Amino acid sequence: MKDTYLNLVNGPLKQVAKTLGLPQPVELQRFDSTPESYRRKPVLVLGAGPEAQKLADMLLENGLEVRRHSTSGESLRAIIAVLDDAKTPTDLSETVLGIGSALRSLAKCGRVITISMAPDAQNQDPELAAAAQGITGLTRSLAHEMRAGSTANGILLDGVDLQAPSVATALWFLLSGKSAYVSGQFVTVSSQEGTPVRMEQFLSTGTSGPLAGRSAVVTGAARGIGAAIARNLARDGAHVIGVDMPQAGQALAEVMNEIGGKTLQLDITAESAAQKIAEAVGGPVDVLIHNAGITRDKMLANMDAARWNSVITVNIAAQARVNAHLSEKGLFADGAQVVSLASTSGIAGNRGQTNYATSKAGVIGLTAASAKDFAHRGGTINAVAPGFIETDMTAKMPPLTRQVARRLSSLQQGGHPVDVAETIGFLASAGARGINGTTVRVCGQNMVGA
Ligand code: NAD
């Protein structure tokens, strides 16, 4: 759905919006729309430790322009702050104040990325834990302060160092237009798994893309976010098997014809769903995206059993059963990667959505609890929690509620289905195999709830 307000405040009403102090969301630079001039701008790497220099060298090897000190007047594409060596909160000041003094040089749709140790209160020295946890507060607050489509996110090192391959993959994702609508979030790298991927390959498409040669099943692929996921995974080189209800068969066929994919008309709640999926793939399932989902909103006081049960059955019980069946029957490929659709409602809760929020919080729980099982096969399972995304689902909202929902995020606009699809493509790629059991929000740092 079109965001008319965004177009107006970037066009004829620009001055009026400025004078009245109204929100002025900017058009985000997404993967396909990122201009070459932006790609060529330098990246500033801050941090006094040896890891910061190693990271700067790695970026140089990947063809990026790198600076170790900010030079006044030079526009920056990104600021990367390496804070993995902070032992106490007082150790943070030099690098953090360095970010502050470089912020005005950040280009439109620029990036700030912090890299630090994952907070682990159980196993860390108290001051070390304070520094680690402090960096999460810093990054989230900074994301609220960003302007002109810029974002701030963090990479957390959970028992790994900066050389873990998925750290580089996370950087390529966060630096690129693929993460345009991700802000105030953390990507946790928790193992050395993952194929090392150069930035060029991560940003390539087709037969040299990050999913080249892999098959990918996408449920609910006939429209909305599912159709965008199918298109993106195909763009990145995957052979896509699109699944949707028989009633959506025509729309599904159109999407699959467009991308050279295969259709599977199937209700994912059917007892035989996992078997049908494996048959359609024609071999072990490699990439599986659990996207199909429904809403049946009502206050709990007015909730009938049909509304409650249908949402739980489609959104969580069906995917739990499919995963369990594929796992038990050995139908997942070695290195299989699964990504499920959660929702910010499952994190923050939402009025009128007890059923939906239960199912989506359930997805987050299922994902975290299944990580070990997938790791045994060298694979991963992760979730993506979208906030307000412009789809048929959100087009049904009352106009005023829709306007408020759009503006109540740090990026002051709704996301596009492609934003969710890009994050899923990243988590499903071989370079991201060191990221497991996590949930990444794609919500423009939505301010409602969490
Ligand atoms: P949508 O309603 O536009 O599309 C969902 C698709 O899933 C449809 O094609 C539908 O036919 C299919 N589907 C539903 N039940 C099915 C079943 N039993 N078997 C097979 N297919 C089935 O929804 P969307 O907005 O594109 O959302 C996609 C996913 O993202 C959902 O899981 C949703 O909960 C989640 N999500 C969406 C938003 C948003 O703002 N749109 C926000 C957070 C999470």
pLDDT at 171 over 90: yes
Q: Say which of 5, 38, 181, 356 is annotated catalytic.
A: 356
Which pLDDT score is estimated for 426? 98
pLDDT at 124 over 90: no
Which pLDDT score is estimated for 39? 72
pLDDT at 196 over 60: yes
Give nearest CA residue, ligand 1 atom 31. 293
Question: Known catalytic residue: 5?
Answer: no
pLDDT at 448 over 70: no
Which pLDDT score is estimated for 404? 84
Ligand 1 probe mutation, 3, 229, 244, most atoms within 8 A of CB: 244
Contacts of 150 (CB under 8 A, 6+ apart): 106, 108, 109, 110, 111, 112
Ligand 1 within 6 A of CB of 441: no
Give nearest CA residue, ligand 1 atom 33. 293
Going from the Cα of 440 to the center of ligand 1, the distance in angstroms, rounded, reads 18
Which H, E and C letters describe the chain, residue by residue?
CCCHHHHHHCCCCHHHHHHHCCCCCCCCCCCCCCCHHHHCCCEEEECCCHHHHHHHHHHHHCCCCEECCCCCCCCEEEEEEECCCCCCHHHHHHHHHHHHHHHHHEEEEEEEEEEEECCCCCCCCHHHHHHHHHHHHHHHHHHHHCCCCCEEEEEEECCCCCCCHHHHHHHHHHHCHHHCCCCCCEEEECCCCCCCCCHHHHCCCHHHCCCCCCEEEEECCCCHHHHHHHHHHHHCCCEEEEEECHHHHHHHHHHHHHHCCEEEECCCCCCCHHHHHHHHHCCCEEEEEECCCCCCCECHHHCCHHHHHHHHHHHHHHHHHHHHHHHHCCCEEEEEEEEEECCCHHHHCCCCEHHHHHHHHHHHHHHHHHHHHHHHCCCEEEEEEECCECCHHHHCCCHHHHHHHHHCECCCCCECHHHHHHHHHHHCCHHHCCCCCCEEEECCCECCCC
Going from the Cα of 428 to the center of ligand 1, the distance in angstroms, rounded, reads 19
Which pLDDT score is estimated for 52? 97
In degrees, rounded to 5, the angle at the alpha carbon of residue 185 between the alpha carbons of residues 181 and 189 is 120
Ligand 1 within 6 A of CB of 199: no
Ligand 1 probe mutation, 243, 250, 294, most atoms within 8 A of CB: 294
Give nearest CA residue, ligand 1 atom 8. 220
For residue 72, name the pLDDT band (cuts at 50, 70, 90): confident
What would the pLDDT profile of 231-272 be if each residue is shown by its tens digit? 999 999 999 999 999 999 999 999 999 999 999 999 999 999
Which pLDDT score is estimated for 177? 95
Going from the Cα of 63 to the center of ligand 1, the distance in angstroms, rounded, reads 39
Residue, of 71 and 289, whose pLDDT is higher: 289
pLDDT at 2 over 90: no
Give the C-alpha separation, 74 to 149, whole Å.
19
What would the pLDDT profile of 280-339 be if each residue is shown by its tens digit? 999 999 999 999 999 999 999 999 999 999 999 999 999 999 999 999 999 999 999 999
Ligand 1 within 6 A of CB of 223: yes
Give nearest CA residue, ligand 1 atom 16. 292
Which pLDDT score is estimated for 450? 43
Give the C-alpha separation, 342 to 416, whole Å.
16
Which pLDDT score is estimated for 36? 73
What would the pLDDT profile of 395-430 be if each residue is shown by its tens digit? 888 888 888 888 889 999 999 999 999 999 999 999
Average pLDDT, whole number, for the chain?
94
Ligand 1 within 6 A of CB of 220: yes
Ligand 1 within 6 A of CB of 391: yes
225 CA closest ligand 1 atom index: 26
Q: In which region does residue 65 sit, left (phi positive, over 0), alpha (psi from -120 to 50) or beta (all else)? A: beta
Percent of the chain with pLDDT over 70: 98
295 CA closest ligand 1 atom index: 34
Q: Could you identify the residue written with the tokens 């709990």?
A: 300
Ligand 1 within 6 A of CB of 340: no
Going from the Cα of 237 to the center of ligand 1, the distance in angstroms, rounded, reads 24
What would the CATH number be for the domain defined by 24-189?
3.40.50.720
Task: Provide mean pLDDT across the span 141-146.
Answer: 96
**What are the extents of the domains in the chain?**
24-189, 205-442
Which pLDDT score is estimated for 37? 67
Which pLDDT score is estimated for 8? 74
Q: Do domains 24-189 and 205-442 have the same CATH topology?
A: yes
Which pLDDT score is estimated for 14? 77
Going from the Cα of 314 to the center of ligand 1, the distance in angstroms, rounded, reads 10
What would the pLDDT profile of 145-160 be if each residue is shown by its tens digit? 999 999 999 999 999 9
Which pLDDT score is estimated for 18? 76
Going from the Cα of 294 to the center of ligand 1, the distance in angstroms, rounded, reads 5
What would the CATH number be for the domain defined by 205-442?
3.40.50.720
342 CA closest ligand 1 atom index: 44
Ligand 1 within 6 A of CB of 439: no
Ligand 1 within 6 A of CB of 248: yes
Which pLDDT score is estimated for 11? 78
What would the pLDDT profile of 200-237 be if each residue is shown by its tens digit? 999 999 999 999 999 999 999 999 999 999 999 999 99
251 CA closest ligand 1 atom index: 9
Task: Provide mean pLDDT across the span 194-202.
Answer: 94
Ligand 1 probe mutation, 264, 391, 396, most atoms within 8 A of CB: 391
For residue 393, name the pLDDT band (cuts at 50, 70, 90): confident
